[in-house]
């Protein structure tokens, strides 16, 4: 990819109407555009990061036998009335509207009910179970506050998976499998060491105990109590409900980046999703729900890794692995020629951005740091005169001079050790 083909522009200053660090840096770097409070457009670099996060989540869900679908964001009132979650007293984050014929509709804040309703067409016998289905879906939540950038939006992208099992025992096997899949996901996106499986109450989802995935983060809105020695964690509400002695735990501020819920058979029974078991008895299906806030994960990563120069991306989700910063003054000079040679040599092995814009060196270097791409290959007259280029590790700021003939080997070496 050549930078001259991309329309984004960076800013010299942070936007004044944003309080959250993640939104400030992402807007300054040209990764997102703010439409209104709680609603953001994702620009070419931003969408590449989101798609990389989604790919990791998709791989984990597929490895657990998940089948990808996509449901409508438009929700029927009648579907949610069957479980009493259309009622604003029970769920106070609905966006609702009307069709031209006067029919009331909602904009999906979750999808347990619609997917369960759909499953009536596919589940009738124990031979049809289990089913694990997931989607990447835009959700709408009428949040009272939207001051945390992309960490708490009124419109956001979620990965939500739903499990349909014959009984509680089979459900628990899959539920525990999901815990491990989620832990693997957070490890791969760079949040593993600071993310804890946290005991929580079910909130507006279910009366049962649930689990949250909470990442230690100063910009988070939650309080979690962690027992590092035994790798246990409880959110503040669960501590109060369970009368746990907190004095034994470390109190930390966190951001919720995922959650999983056990609904048991209650919701399926309410909605009439039944199956004929092998013993000839009609039984309700057991339901589980598993969510990851994809855009929120992106925001938390920015909060944890961005520095005074801009973004710093873990290599697995970075928009590109490498940016070639060509400090050429003319398309006929040696710098431009060598930049093209290196780009063509490595573009089939790595995700590479060639900064071929006609700009001064300082602006290009400023943007390269702001973008947070893990490795920078800096090509200028001085280094080329010595038969070298500079390679900068954006994650630790280290710069090394490398002979032209050794560039590919050095790139491979550094990328292997990057988080």
Report the predicted TM-score, pTM, of the whole model to 2 decimal places. 0.95
Say what the pLDDT of residue 164 is: 98
Catalogue all structural domains in the chain, each as residue range(s) with its CATH number. Answer: 3-305 (3.30.930.10), 322-417 (3.40.50.800)
* Burial of 376 from C-beta contacts in 10 A (0-12 / 13-18 / 19+): buried
**What pLDDT is attached to residue 351?**
97
Helices (H) and strands (E) in the chain, counts: 12, 21
Nearest CA to 261 out of 297, 213, 208, 224 is that of 208
The pLDDT of residue 183 is 97
For the segment 375-394, what is each residue's pLDDT rounded down to a tens digit? 999 999 999 999 999 999 99
Q: What is the pLDDT of residue 237?
A: 85
pLDDT of residue 203: 54
The DSSP line for 344-380 is HHHTTTS-EEEE--S--HHHHHHHHHHHT-SEEEEE-
The whole-number pLDDT of residue 144 equals 87
Whether 120 contacts 287, CB under 8 Å: no
Instruction: Find residue 138's DSSP bridge partners.
Output: 157
Residues 6 or more apart whose CB falls under 8 angstroms from that of 174 comprise: 64, 130, 132, 163, 165, 288
Beta bridge partners of 275: 283
What are the tens digits of pLDDT across the range 312-339? 999 999 999 999 999 998 877 999 999 9
Residues of the chain with pLDDT under 70: 202-208
């Amino acid at each position: 990819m050549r930078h001259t083909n991309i329309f984004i522009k960076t800013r010299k200053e942070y936007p004044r109407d944003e309080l959250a660090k993640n939104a400030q840096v992402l807007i300054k770097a040209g990764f997102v555009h703010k439409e209104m409070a709680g609603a953001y457009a994702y620009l070419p670099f931003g969408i590449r990061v989101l798609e990389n996060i989604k790919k990791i989540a998709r791989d984990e869900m597929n490895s657990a036998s998940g089948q990808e679908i996509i449901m409508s964001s438009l929700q029927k009132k009648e579907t949610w009335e069957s479980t009493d979650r259309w009622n604003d007293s029970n769920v106070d984050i609905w966006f609702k509207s009307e069709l031209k014929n006067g029919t009331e509709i909602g904009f999906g804040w979750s999808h347990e009910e619609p997917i369960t309703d759909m499953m009536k067409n596919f589940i009738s016998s124990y031979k049809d179970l289990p089913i694990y289905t997931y989607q990447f879906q835009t959700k709408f939540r009428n949040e009272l506050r939207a001051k945390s950038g992309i960490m708490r939006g009124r419109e956001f992208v979620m990965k939500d998976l739903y499990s349909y099992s014959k009984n509680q025992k089979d459900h628990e096997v899959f539920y525990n499998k999901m815990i491990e899949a989620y832990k693997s996901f957070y490890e791969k996106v760079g949040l593993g060491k600071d993310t804890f499986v946290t005991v929580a109450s079910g909130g507006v989802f279910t009366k049962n105990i649930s689990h949250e995935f909470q990442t230690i983060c100063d910009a988070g809105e939650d309080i979690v109590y962690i027992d590092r020695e035994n790798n246990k964690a409880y959110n503040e509400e669960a501590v109060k409900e369970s009368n746990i002695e907190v004095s034994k735990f470390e109190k930390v501020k966190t951001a919720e980046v995922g959650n999983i819920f056990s609904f048991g058979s209650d919701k399926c029974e309410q909605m009439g999703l039944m199956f004929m078991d092998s013993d000839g008895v009609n039984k309700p299906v057991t339901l589980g729900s598993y969510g990851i806030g994809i855009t929120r994960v992106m925001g938390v990563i920015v909060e944890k890794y961005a520095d005074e120069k801009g973004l710093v991306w873990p290599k697995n989700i970075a928009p590109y692995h490498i940016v070639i910063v060509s400090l050429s003054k003319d398309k006929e000079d040696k710098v431009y020629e060598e930049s093209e040679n290196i780009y063509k040599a490595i573009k089939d092995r790595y995700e590479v951005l060639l900064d071929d814009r006609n700009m001064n060196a300082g602006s290009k270097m400023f943007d390269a740091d702001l973008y947070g791409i893990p490795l920078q290959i800096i090509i200028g007259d001085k280094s080329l005169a010595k038969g070298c280029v500079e390679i900068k590790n954006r994650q630790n700021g280290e710069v090394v001079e490398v002979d032209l003939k050794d560039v590919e080997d050095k790139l491979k070496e550094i990328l292997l050790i990057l988080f």
